[in-house]
């Protein structure tokens, strides 16, 4: 269902009217985690300044440590929904458990499935039945074929509004959080008609790498990027070191204004 063998045309997925794929290079940005209404609104305004047309933010956080901040749950979803009303930015947010899909889908414009859940087949199937577009991150140890098969689980349930997200894979290299597999973008685009975006924040894990990796993603032909921003990263409850600050926004906006045109996108 997701293979290009059957559908030669590349797909465009619309998230509350915002296109991902085709001629567009879409920017999704926002805080890693929803912490407070003020922090989420400020991050959303930052996202808009950077050229984003969709807001990201986690209310359910799949943390490596059970002692780390796990997210605000439904209270976080309500904050996202209020911020959407205030800014007009549709919301992309993660769901980590099949039993939460209906609830998360009642607030979200797009469901995110994270790297740790890429092969949580019950979750994939539930997301496929939720009636909302799905952002499917690549498992950090998954091959491209396994990633596409995970997308197939969603598609099999009747939902072809799937966007693939390359977010870095596990390698021997420790200088970055994960290794951005930039070649996965054209490879996945050649095998599947689904749009493919890149997460330069979770792959590099460091603020200074976000702009260079974004440049690489756009240059290689990614259909979009998803970027962490935070008004005060030093106090962030999740992944502060990779969040862009106010000071970085103009550079990101400039990149998003100029680079896509050089590779034939708007
Ligand atoms: C995220 O985007 O909030 C996230 C947890 O990403 P990943 O699943 O890629 O680690």
pLDDT of residue 93: 98
Whether residue 1 lies inside any domain: the answer is no
Q: Whose CA is nearest to atom 6 of ligand 1?
A: 114
Q: Are 37 and 45 in contact (CB under 8 A)?
A: no
Q: What is the dihedral of CA 245, 220, 141, 126, to 10 degrees?
A: 80
Whether residue 154 lies inside any domain: the answer is yes
CB of 192 within 6 A of ligand 1: the answer is: no
Whether residue 4 lies inside any domain: the answer is no
CA distance 208 to 244: 9
pLDDT of residue 247: 96
CA distance 49 to 187: 32
Residue 139 DSSP symbol: P
- Total domains, the chain: 1
pLDDT of residue 75: 98
Nearest ligand 1 atom to the CA of 32 is: 3
Q: Whose CA is nearest to atom 8 of ligand 1?
A: 114
Residue 115 DSSP symbol: G
Whether residue 225 lies inside any domain: the answer is yes
Distance 138 CA to ligand 1 centre (A): 10
pLDDT at 8 over 90: no
Whether residue 71 lies inside any domain: the answer is yes
Distance 208 CA to ligand 1 centre (A): 18
CB of 168 within 6 A of ligand 1: the answer is: no
Q: Whose CA is nearest to atom 5 of ligand 1?
A: 114
Helix 207-220 to helix 184-191 angle (10° resolution) is 40
Confidence category of residue 129, pLDDT binned at 50, 70, 90: very high
Which residues have C-beta within 8 Å of that of residue 88, sequence separation ≥ 6?
none
Global pTM reads 0.98
CB of 115 within 6 A of ligand 1: the answer is: yes
**Tens-place pLDDT, residues 138-151:** 999 999 999 999 99
Structural domain boundaries, residue 256: 13-262
Percent of the chain exceeding pLDDT 90 equals 98
Percent of the chain exceeding pLDDT 70 equals 100
Nearest ligand 1 atom to the CA of 168 is: 9
Nearest ligand 1 atom to the CA of 165 is: 9
pLDDT at 266 over 90: no
Average confidence (pLDDT) over 9-25: 96
CB of 137 within 6 A of ligand 1: the answer is: yes
Q: What is the dihedral of CA 200, 202, 207, 212, to 10 degrees?
A: -20
ipTM over 0.85: yes
Nearest ligand 1 atom to the CA of 201 is: 2
Q: What is the CATH number of the domain that holds 81?
A: 3.20.20.70
pLDDT at 229 over 90: yes
Q: Are 196 and 166 in contact (CB under 8 A)?
A: yes
Nearest ligand 1 atom to the CA of 140 is: 9
């Amino acid at each position: 269902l997701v293979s290009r063998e059957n559908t030669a045309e590349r797909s465009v997925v619309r998230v509350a009217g915002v296109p991902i794929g085709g001629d567009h290079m879409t920017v999704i940005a926002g805080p890693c985690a929803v912490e407070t209404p003020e922090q989420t609104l400020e991050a959303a305004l930052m996202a808009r300044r950077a050229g984003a047309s969709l807001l990201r933010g986690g209310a359910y956080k799949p943390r490596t440590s059970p002692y780390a901040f796990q997210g605000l749950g439904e209270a976080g979803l309500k904050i996202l929904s209020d911020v959407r009303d205030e800014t007009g930015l549709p919301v992309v947010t993660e769901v980590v458990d099949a039993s939460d899909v209906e609830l998360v889908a009642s607030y979200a414009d797009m469901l995110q499935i994270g790297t740790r859940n890429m092969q949580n087949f019950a979750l994939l199937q539930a997301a496929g039945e939720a009636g909302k577009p799905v952002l499917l991150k690549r498992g950090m140890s998954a091959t491209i074929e396994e990633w596409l098969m995970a997308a197939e689980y969603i598609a099999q349930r009747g939902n072809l509004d799937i966007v693939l997200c390359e977010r870095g894979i596990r390698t021997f290299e420790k200088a970055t959080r994960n290794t951005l597999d930039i070649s996965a973008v054209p490879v996945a685009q050649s095998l599947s008609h689904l749009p493919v975006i890149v997460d330069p924040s979770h792959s590099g894990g460091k603020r200074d790498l976000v702009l260079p990796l974004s440049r690489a993603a756009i240059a290689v032909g990614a259909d979009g990027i998803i970027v962490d921003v935070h008004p005060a990263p030093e106090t962030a409850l999740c992944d502060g070191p990779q969040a862009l600050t106010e000071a970085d926004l103009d550079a990101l906006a400039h990149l998003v204004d100029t680079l896509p045109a050089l590779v034939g996108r708007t």
